[in-house]
Structure 1
């Protein structure tokens, strides 16, 4: 007995249960041949359907589709047939996303990828590996030398202006890595690992360049690369957050404000301090994203706090590294944020850290001057105990000096005490305010008051806290140490 069932295999793609029932009937009825052909057509059309779903309207492959393409190419042409991959990572794209928003950021990526595709040779394929990172597949018909030429073309194409919000143009750059199969990897995963190491080195050296992978790179930089890409993922997935540590006027028992400190809410290792990731972000350039994101987050926190506690007048501070301060566009970018949120810059203290590292940089001094003209108040940290520092401070446009607890320990010697007194006298003469930080106990707090320092912060008053804890802290007036005794 033969039963013929006419089916539409495209419908079967969404109806696996129906297909299974039909095949069961055919097999039971003895029509094995019909069952075979239906199953074969189903699998063929399903594969085509999945591939179509993994290619967007502009013909850019997904990450998995690119991986499948590479695996298929190796299988069809042989394990020793060479080909090349080019990895394109947009420099500082998180800043564009932060400035223009996710929706406009996606449009930028669409236009950027269209430019890349147009520059690739015939037969090459472009895939979006993730976020702002792309991979180009170059087949065996092209030599290694030609691949390097293609990479140089892509580097220049990346600089083409892209329009946002209609007529506004932005210019981007890209860090590019090159890897050859089978020299730099025997499969897609190994090749990607090699490419990422090469790109990380480009990022570390400022971006906008090309690097061909070599094995010695992995020995030097391999341990940092995975962390770098975890950081990129953390930015995309909003894993960074600000914690807030109170600054207290110990003499008056009043709250002066909060210092914002960045933390990484790592999915595996929990909350990480900046010592675990700031150096890598400095090297890769992602530190500039922190400045924009951090200030914007701080503004929102200030406005939220002011709305809930309108009678409390608080200052909020945030740290800026020398590398951030070397960005000539920083004052204008910060001014735009103030305007966008209608924020008074005088409520924000920009704390420039590592004074000893930037004292000879004219760009930093100029930026400090511009930021102060906008209305921000400026603090400096990391002075060190150098008497020549006082003459340098006299030339700086600053409002606050952060004093490390080295000067306020129980083992304080005459030299440290003398320097602290001179610093206080200098501050009073120049109408500056000193903030003693890392105060760990009552003895250190009292020693600070002996040096006529009123504003302090440290674990003695409170550890840095997440934004969710601010309300209770303010409601309970937890900074009043005398009421706790």
Structure 2
């Protein structure tokens, strides 16, 4: 009886266990099916590898074999090229479409190659390709081929499902074996340098490696290759330096300054890598990324920032100003986050270039029409620049504190400064000082007629979190001081 009762009471438990096992196996099977379906879908969406395009390992094996067999007795040439505007096209049409377009271009390149040529994927992070030509070709023939290669790469191709054509812009570096190097590693490194130098000369179709290229350029090249990975790994960060009102010392804005959280070298300031971003074209990506980061930060602290009507100051380079899509791109980002355009102040340093480039004049005018604030960074204290203020009328001009104070020690300098102050007051242009070094500077700048000031003496650039805490604390301190005075 006891045994029978035990068996009968255990039956539901056993049945329940069986049901749980069946459900578990069913879920596992369903999960496996879904994963396999996603995998196959992803494979279908990926464009097939370009026929005739080899891997980098195949290229290096071919080079090593060539060097081993012929060792200095025969010549070879490596052409390394990259697509300058690949990221912009990917943003416009989607990564898959951009890859299809690139495949069309590579197929066109393959059609013009000599019989023994090897075309291979080169640096995935920099979206570049390498072409190996083996043979004792005269240099004029090689350079003629380089021109032809660039023209083929830049030939317009049709966008799928759209009745339009687009064209890539190409960078091309060239290196010769054994003229420039006799080892495969050195040869490829120097090909990288040649490509990088060509990116610094956008009006030049190709660049042949030269031993005259400075060591610093090779250092920049290291940063260039690392920057592509840094973008992917989200290693860039914005720091913020407060801009204060001279009379009250209240914070009126922040200058956004990019920093690179390098995995080996720590926090790098822009002096180390900004020129590399300029030359690679990634400066346009950085500009849009910065807008997204600032807008997200503004919304995160919206109540605090909006209450005190602060603005964020961002530097624009000449290369960015030459981008005809810049105004619409920035306006769209601010609209996405519902951030007012007057919360952003764009700083422009190359003031003299306004007259040389109509595109820059148009961009600056359109930024103003959209409601963005404009500032002239490192304003030169001379009468010609002051006259230009009458037509440009920026929101703010920024001068180096030390240079301005020293200029006032001379009769001519003090007179020019008086004219500047008078012009700015009449036109309601704010005057801000840079690089304030001590308390004496703060007092003199206020007495001279400056409106704003910033510098390491006032506050160093800070992370977003530290900046918000510093901002809140500064106003709490002001409120406490006001209460004490009232008491």
Aligning the two structures, in what range does the TM-score lie when normalised by the shorter sequence? Answer: 0.7 to 0.9
Q: How far did 1:219 drift? A: 1.9
> Which whole-Å CA distance do the structure 2 matches of 1:422 and 1:345 have between them?
31
CA, structure 1 residues 340+133, in 2 after alignment: closer, same or farther (shift >3 Å)? Answer: farther
Listed as ranges, the matches of 1:32-111 within 5 Å are 56=49, 58-76=51-69, 80-96=73-89, 109-111=102-104
| Equivalent residue number for residue 470 of structure 2 | 473
| Equivalent residue number for residue 156 of structure 2 | 161
CA, structure 1 residues 143+253, in 2 after alignment: closer, same or farther (shift >3 Å)? Answer: closer
Alignment partner for residue 398 of structure 2, among 399, 402, 424?
A: 402
> Which whole-Å CA distance do the structure 1 matches of 2:158 and 2:467 have between them?
41
| Equivalent residue number for residue 434 of structure 1 | 431
| Equivalent residue number for residue 450 of structure 2 | 453
Alignment partner for residue 248 of structure 2, among 226, 248, 252?
A: 252
CA, structure 1 residues 100+228, in 2 after alignment: closer, same or farther (shift >3 Å)? Answer: farther
* TM-score, normalised with respect to structure 2: 0.75
| Equivalent residue number for residue 191 of structure 1 | 187
> Which whole-Å CA distance do the structure 2 matches of 1:155 and 1:244 have between them?
42
Corresponding residue pairs, total: 428
- Would you say the 8 A contact 1:248–1:455 is kept in 2? yes
SS in 1 for 2:256: strand
CA, structure 1 residues 203+475, in 2 after alignment: closer, same or farther (shift >3 Å)? Answer: same
Question: For structure 1, which segment, 289-298 or 174-183, has the greater mean C-alpha deviation from structure 2 after superposition?
Answer: 289-298
CA RMSD of aligned residues (A): 3.6
In the alignment, structure 1 segments of 5+ residues that lack a partner are 1-54
> Which whole-Å CA distance do the structure 2 matches of 1:105 and 1:478 have between them?
49
> Which whole-Å CA distance do the structure 2 matches of 1:205 and 1:279 have between them?
13
Deviations 1:211-244 (A, max 9, x none): 333xxx2224453134134224314422443221
Deviations 1:266-289 (A, max 9, x none): 444333333333345545555444
Q: How far did 1:418 drift? A: 4.6
Q: How far did 1:129 drift? A: 1.2
Listed as ranges, the matches of 1:45-444 within 5 Å are 56=49, 58-76=51-69, 80-96=73-89, 109-130=102-123, 131-140=126-135, 147-161=142-156, 166-167=161-162, 169-207=165-203, 209-213=205-209, 217-238=210-231, 239-282=235-278, 285-306=281-302, 311-356=307-352, 358=354, 361-406=357-402, 409=405, 413=409, 415=411, 416-444=413-441
* TM-score, normalised with respect to structure 1: 0.75
Deviations 1:237-258 (A, max 9, x none): 2244322111122433432111
- Would you say the 8 A contact 1:116–1:154 is kept in 2? yes
In the alignment, structure 2 segments of 5+ residues that lack a partner are 1-47, 482-487
